[in-house]
Amino acid sequence: MTYADQTCDVCQGESGGAFVGVASVPGAPVSIAWCRACLARDAAPSWVFDHDYIFVAQGNLAALHDWARQRVTWDDGRYVGFDEYCKRWTPARIAEAWADYERACDEAATREGGVE
C-alpha cells in the first residue's frame, strides 16, 4: 500500500488523478490506495486480475462472474479491460504460475513445520 506517499496502487500516479485515500478492492480482502481517476473507473490493480484469472478461473474466462470481467486496470499507460489484460497469459505461463504458487506454499508449510 502506498498511502504514506499518497500514490495510487492501481496506476502508481500515472493517470493524473488526485489522491483520494484507502479503500477496499471489490471482491478481494485487501485495501489499497486510490486516486480519483481509478476509483471512478472501478479500476483494480493488475495483480487482482492476475489472481482472478490464474487462481480463481484457472485460465478460463467463462468461469468468472461478469462483474469481475467488467473491471479495468492500468497497464502500459492506459486503462485496459480484464479480457484484454489477460491475453498476456498463455497456458504455459498459467501452469508456471501455479507451480510457483504450490512451491511457495510447500516452502512456507515446511518452514512452519506442517510438511515433512
pTM of the model: 0.77
User: In whole angstroms, what is the distance from residue 61 CA to residue 98 CA?
Assistant: 17
Does 11 reside within a domain? no
112 compared with 10, residue with greater pLDDT = 10
Structural domains counted in the chain: 1
Question: Which long-range CB contacts under 8 A does 28-33 form with residues at least 24 apart?
Answer: 31/1, 32/1, 33/1, 33/2, 33/3, 33/6, 33/7, 33/8, 33/9
Per-residue pLDDT, 89: 85
List the one residue out of 56, 30, 61, 54 whose CA is nearest residue 44.
30
Examine the pLDDT at 11 and tell me if it is beyond 90: yes
Does 14 reside within a domain? no
Measured CA angle at 47 (ends 100, 77), to 5 deg: 130
Per-residue pLDDT, 80: 96
Examine the pLDDT at 81 and tell me if it is beyond 70: yes
Does 1 reside within a domain? no
Residue 36 belongs to domain spanning: 19-111
Average pLDDT of span 51-71: 88
Does 3 reside within a domain? no
Question: Do the beta carbons of residue 61 and residue 91 sit within 8 Å?
Answer: no
Cell numbers 501452469: residue = 95
Does 73 reside within a domain? yes
Name residue 85's amino acid: Y
Does 7 reside within a domain? no
Examine the pLDDT at 55 and tell me if it is beyond 60: yes
Does 55 reside within a domain? yes
Does 8 reside within a domain? no
User: In whole angstroms, what is the distance from residue 107 CA to residue 28 CA?
Assistant: 24
